[in-house]
Amino acid sequence: AQKVTQAQTEISVVEKEDVTLDCVYETRDTTYYLFWYKQPPSGELVFLIRRNSFDEQNEISGRYSWNFQKSTSSFNFTITASQVVDSAVYFCALSPSWGKLQFGAGTQVVVTP
Amino acid sequence: DTGVSQNPRHKITKRGQNVTFRCDPISEHNRLYWYRQTLGQGPEFLTYFQNEAQLEKSRLLSDRFSAERPKGSFSTLEIQRTEQGDSAMYLCASSGQQALGETQYFGPGTRLLVL
């Protein structure tokens, strides 16, 4: 069975602080995909990043960066220099090769001016 | 390239009534997914189509739920004899078939309230 755990329920920061969101996953598949989605108050899930199980290279995209460590089954996500518009619920998700997504419970990020 | 659209955006109904939701995927996406999201939780998988074939259904999809994708384009999700426990956000997503683990793009959702 697959499982995604986001232990942080809510994180509150002041604008310009960095925010790191934790995600731990469980799967028996050797090939799998990991995602981060953002859900602002409007409700629509917005795709942020995708990583496959064979690529542990960590990257930076604008203010977003991620740390994928297969050895610890973790896929953490960082927002650098947070802004008020970053306030949303962030979901980590896991899928096998054919695409069904298993989501974590989400982490609410609150950025105050 | 238009995104995934869902209609209606909001639906209020009385217990026992039937409701139907529609999802229009991104054009040329042949995979379509339905999820349900209750307050404070992550979305949960309901069912999945590849073209017009429904390939998997979650145990969450009781006999009162039925989904169709008749021509491999738009999809409908019907709930018969609604119950208060059906109140949730129903999300639709689509993806292409170019590669495994293709990213799913979500629509704005249909928020259902059963009174």
CA-to-CA dists, residue B7 to A73, A105, B66, B92, angstroms? 38, 26, 17, 10
A contacts of B93 (beta carbons < 8 Å): 45, 101
| Contact across the interface for A100 and B109, Cβ inside 8 Å | no
pLDDT digits (tens, 9 = 90+) for A79-105: 999 999 999 999 999 998 666 899 999
The beta-carbon neighbor of A44 closest among B35, B100, B106 is: B106
Residue B9 has pLDDT above 60, yes or no: yes
**Mean pLDDT (chain A, rounded):** 92
**Where would I find the beta strands (DSSP E) of chain B?**
5-7, 10-13, 19-24, 31-37, 44-50, 53-57, 65-68, 75-79, 88-95, 105-106, 110-114
**Where would I find the beta strands (DSSP E) of chain A?**
3-5, 10-14, 19-21, 24-26, 33-39, 46-52, 60-61, 64-69, 74-79, 88-95, 102-103, 107-112
Q: In the numeric block, which tokens belong to residue B42?
A: 């992550």
Residue B1 has pLDDT above 60, yes or no: no
**Min CA distance, B99 vs chain A (Å)?**
9
- Counted residue by residue, chain A has a size of 113
Residues of chain A with pLDDT under 70: 97-99
| Contact across the interface for A52 and B101, Cβ inside 8 Å | yes
